[in-house]
Structure 1
């Protein structure tokens, strides 16, 4: 897995349900390296701190490999890296292979895979169609957020080098399915209960389905 593009955003105001909303989803490629901090990417817009940024969502990664699929669905958009609001566009990132809790060296930073992206209305606003939310969930390749264990700069061309593989974990794709499938895989829920790469509140919410 290699970084294809580093992306950041300036605050952009959109109108949603008649109200002004500031968002950082309109990311564009940067020419310089970006700095991964423990709560966010330096110089990047993170307005909604309830749902973005913080320890478990310090940075968002999305796969370059999925762009062709979405370009075919939305051919009239002005396509560039960062279209999904990702800070890092990564080649060969496969959600069906990476495991929650895996630790990687990336540039000067040390990162850990945490949770998949859950789409919201801002993605629909970006694409001009709220139907993309259902399409995104059905496609089941959501990208992943990361925790930054060691801060540092990363740049285009840097590779993700596996340092430690998570034990008794599930893939990012399986975690995404847990969030949206009506019939939850209870074995998968049980397997993540001690995985501290996942927020306790998220683990507790899923644990309720074991009763």
Structure 2
């Protein structure tokens, strides 16, 4: 049996986008980072690659609208790692605005739990800060942009579809970071279509590792009988 409860999770009630944040790349220790987000008080356009004019490290955050955790784009209450699930469709704005008739509102899909890196350690001056966010399941999550549009603070956030009510961000983190031995769970998550490749690839690699180990022949002892001995080296006495 799985090491944690995997019953369906109720859909959280709608909430409000309290703040919309963005940043510019700036020197942060020895690297460039866009982690220092500032509140924005004008509408911003959400495209397939993120917020208009927002700057971030394209190595890991290209083509994704990244929200939550530290360096977050959205500030809102009620949505947490415990009640949002992979594949949740989140409508930003009213039903009418999200239809894009007037270009406002957008539709986002929860695609991935964030994996905070060393930049969090640098920002807060705590060497173990990033690993602690994993252990506490307070990492935030990434959104995939399904419908583009303008958004601004004060808009409603509402979960409108939930294809995977079992797989909250927190549960995903549990099997990603802590319980790595459950291969049935690893197989299920590796085939979860809405889950981002960054996570799915980890579970696929875990499965391949076990399969490779199982395919190796078992070492066996072979008995031999000594029938004669020959002195190969002449010793000087």
TM-score of the pair, normalised by structure 1 = 0.78
Cα distance in 1, alignment partners of residues 156 and 29 from structure 2:
38
The reply on whether 1:179 has 2:186 as its aligned counterpart is no
Can you list the C-alpha shifts for 1:46-96, whole angstroms capped at 9, x where unaligned? 2x2121131xx322134xxxxxxxxxxxxxxxxxxxxx1000012111211
> 2:189·2:203 contact (CA, 8 Å) conserved in 1?
no
Between 1:146-155 and 1:7-16, the stretch displaced more is 7-16
Q: Quick check: 1:23 aligned with 2:33?
A: yes
**Partner residue in 2 for 1:149:** 146
> Which residue of 1 is the match for residue 65 of structure 2?
58
Matches within 5 A, 1:47-196: 48-54=57-63, 57-62=64-69, 84-107=70-93, 108-167=105-164, 169-196=166-193
Shift of 1:187: 4.1
Higher Cα Rg: structure 1 or 2? 2
Name the CA distance, whole Å, in 2 between partners of 1:119 and 1:59: 12
Aligned-partner Cα distance in 2 for 1:97–1:182: 20
Contact 1:101 1:169 in 2 (8 A): no
State how far apart, in whole Å, the 2-side matches of 1:179 and 1:2 are: 30
- Report deviation, 1:123: 1.1
**Post-superposition offset of 1:173:** 0.8
Q: Which structure 2 segments of 5+ residues have no match?
A: 1-14, 94-104, 211-237
- Pair 58,127 (structure 1): closer, same or farther in 2 beyond 3 Å: same
Q: How much does 1:199 deviate?
A: 2.8
CA RMSD of aligned residues (A): 2.0
- Aligned residue number for residue 66 of structure 1: none
Q: Which runs of 4+ in 1 moved over 4 A?
A: none
SS of 1:99's partner is: coil
Aligned: 1:7 with 2:46: no
- Pairwise CA distance, 1:4: 1.5
Residues 87, 163 of structure 2: 8 Å contact kept = yes
Q: In the alignment, is the contact (CA less than 8 A) between 1:169 and 1:192 conserved in 2?
A: no
Q: Residues of 2 paired with 1:110 and 1:142: CA distance?
A: 22
Q: Is the 8 A contact 1:169 1:195 kept in 2?
A: no
SS at match of 2:20: strand
**TM-score where L is the length of structure 2:** 0.70
Please say which of residues 115-124 and 152-161 is displaced more in the overlay. Answer: 152-161
Shift of 1:201: 5.2
Question: Aligned with 2:27: secondary structure?
Answer: strand
